[in-house]
C-alpha cells in the first residue's frame, strides 16, 4: 500500500468566519479523493464550528483540526480550549508549533500534556519539532519537522535534508512515525518533498490561505 500523504493547512491567526467559509466553498469541491491522501484544515478556534458544519453539509474529503488545545481537562481554566470539548469539532490538533514555543513560552513538558489530552479524546496530535533535538515521546506518531529558518521566509529546507532528518527520527524513535515537512511549502515545491521516501506530507502556512493554491497543492500529491 502506498504511504499516507497528509496535507495540513495551518491558517495561524488569519481569516474571519466569512473568509473561512468562502475558502471551504472553493476548496471543498476541488479536493481530489484518494484513500491515502489526508487533507486537514486548521483554522482559528472562532471558525471551527462553522467550518465543521460547512464540511459536513458539503460532504467534502476534508478533516478539521485545531492549532492548539489545553494541557488540562474541562474545569476552571479560563481561556483554555479543552480536548474533551474540542473533540466534537476536530480530529487533529497541531501541538508545539514553534510560534507557540516562541511567543507563548510553550515547553516540551506542556506539549507532552497536550498530547496526552488529545489522545485521551481521540484527537490525533501533530507534534511540531524544530529539529532532531526536540524530544519525541513514545505517543508521538505524527510529527512535523519545521526548521525555523524556513517558516514564512520563502526559503524552504531542501527535500534531501528534510528526508535525512525524517530518516534519523525514524531510526531513533521507530519506523511507524509519519513525518511531515513544514516551511515555505507551495504548489511549486510540494512534489519534491513528498517524493522523498521518509516524508509523509506537509504542514502549510501562507500557501494554505489561498483556496486555489491550496487545491493545486493537493493535486500535486496524486
Ligand atoms: P509557511 O508555510 O508560511 O512557511 O509556514 C509554515 C508553518 O509554520 C506551518 O505550520
Q: Within the chain, how many helices (H) and strands (E) appear?
A: 8, 8
Residue 30 belongs to some domain of the structure = yes
Residue 97 among the catalytic residues: yes
Looking at the predicted structure, is the pLDDT value of residue 132 above 90? no
* Whole-number percent of the chain with pLDDT over 90: 97
Tally of domains in the chain:
1
Q: Do residues 128 and 97 touch, judged by C-beta distance below 8 A?
A: yes
Residue 60 belongs to some domain of the structure = yes
Any idea what the CATH number is for the domain that residue 162 is in? 3.20.20.70
Residue 83 belongs to some domain of the structure = no
Q: Read off the pLDDT of residues 85-109 as tens digits, 9 standing for 90 and up.
A: 999 999 999 999 999 999 999 999 9
Q: Read off the pLDDT of residues 179-197 as tens digits, 9 standing for 90 and up.
A: 999 999 999 999 999 999 9
CA 211 to ligand 1 center in whole angstroms: 16
pLDDT band with cut points at 50, 70 and 90 for residue 133: confident
Helices (H), 59-158: 83-86, 98-103, 108-120
Looking at the predicted structure, is the pLDDT value of residue 129 above 80? yes
Q: Shortest CA distance to 147 belongs to which of 127, 163, 137, 162? A: 162
Q: What is the DSSP letter of 156?
A: P
Residue 166 belongs to some domain of the structure = yes
Q: Is the beta carbon of 151 within 6 A of some atom in ligand 1?
A: yes
Residue 133 belongs to some domain of the structure = yes
Q: Give the ligand 1 atom nearest the CA of 94.
A: 10
Whether this prediction's pTM lies above 0.85 is answered by yes
Residue 203 belongs to some domain of the structure = yes
E strands, 43-169, are 63-66, 92-95, 124-129, 142-145
Q: Read off the pLDDT of residues 65-79 as tens digits, 9 standing for 90 and up.
A: 999 999 999 999 999
Residue 81 belongs to some domain of the structure = no
Q: What domain range is 20 assigned to? A: 5-64+129-219
Residue 58 belongs to some domain of the structure = yes
Q: Cell 511549502 sits at which residue?
A: 185
- β-bridge mates for residue 125, sequence order: 93
Amino acid at each position: 500500500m502506498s504511504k499516507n500523504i497528509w496535507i495540513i493547512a495551518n491558517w495561524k491567526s488569519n481569516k474571519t468566519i466569512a473568509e473561512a467559509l468562502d475558502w471551504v466553498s472553493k476548496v471543498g469541491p476541488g479536493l481530489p479523493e484518494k484513500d491515502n491522501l489526508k487533507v486537514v484544515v486548521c483554522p482559528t478556534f472562532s471558525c471551527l464550528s462553522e467550518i465543521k458544519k460547512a464540511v459536513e453539509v458539503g460532504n467534502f474529503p476534508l478533516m478539521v483540526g485545531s492549532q492548539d488545545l489545553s494541557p488540562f481537562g474541562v474545569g476552571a481554566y479560563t481561556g483554555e480550549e479543552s480536548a474533551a470539548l474540542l473533540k466534537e469539532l476536530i480530529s487533529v490538533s497541531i501541538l508545539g508549533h514553534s510560534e507557540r514555543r516562541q511567543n507563548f513560552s510553550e515547553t516540551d513538558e506542556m506539549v507532552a500534556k497536550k498530547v496526552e489530552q488529545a489522545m485521551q479524546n481521540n484527537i490525533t496530535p501533530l507534534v511540531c519539532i524544530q529539529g532532531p533535538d526536540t524530544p519525541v515521546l513514545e505517543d508521538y506518531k505524527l510529527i512535523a519537522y519545521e526548521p525555523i529558518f524556513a517558516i514564512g521566509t520563502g526559503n524552504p529546507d531542501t527535500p534531501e535534508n528534510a528526508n535525512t532528518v525524517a530518516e534519523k527520527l525514524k531510526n531513533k524513535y521507530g519506523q511507524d512515525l509519519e513525518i511531515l515537512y513544514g516551511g515555505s511549502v507551495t504548489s511549486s515545491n510540494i512534489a519534491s518533498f513528498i517524493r522523498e521516501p521518509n516524508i509523509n506530507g506537509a504542514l502549510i502556512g501562507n500557501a494554505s490561505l489561498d483556496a486555489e493554491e491550496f487545491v493545486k497543492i493537493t493535486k500535486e500529491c496524486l
